[in-house]
Amino acid sequence: MFLYKLEVQLADRRTVLILMGDSDEEVMDSVEAHLSKHFIGSPEVKEIALVEKRRAGKGAGYVVEL
């Protein structure tokens, strides 16, 4: 398992997602599902960038600056 830090450019804003998955493909396929759960409806996704990938384990994490 890996932790993925993704930056997603929507039509009106940029957001960061932290997801866990077994493969890059699995994580990329789940991005829109996570976004539609968070926002009302499915936002228009312009770009998805994989910023960082780390092996998931005790103590693994990310700092997200606002």
- Residue 35, classed as helix, strand or coil, is helix
Domain-located, residue 62:
no
Domain-located, residue 10:
yes
| pLDDT confidence bin for 62, thresholds 50/70/90 | confident
Query: What is the count of structural domains for the chain?
Result: 1
Domain-located, residue 42:
yes
**59 Cβ contact partners less than 8 Å away, ≥ 6 residues apart:** none
Range of the domain at 37: 2-55
Residue 29 has what pLDDT? 93
Domain-located, residue 17:
yes
- Residue 66: is its pLDDT beyond 80? no
Domain-located, residue 63:
no
| pLDDT confidence bin for 42, thresholds 50/70/90 | confident
Domain-located, residue 18:
yes
| pLDDT confidence bin for 65, thresholds 50/70/90 | confident
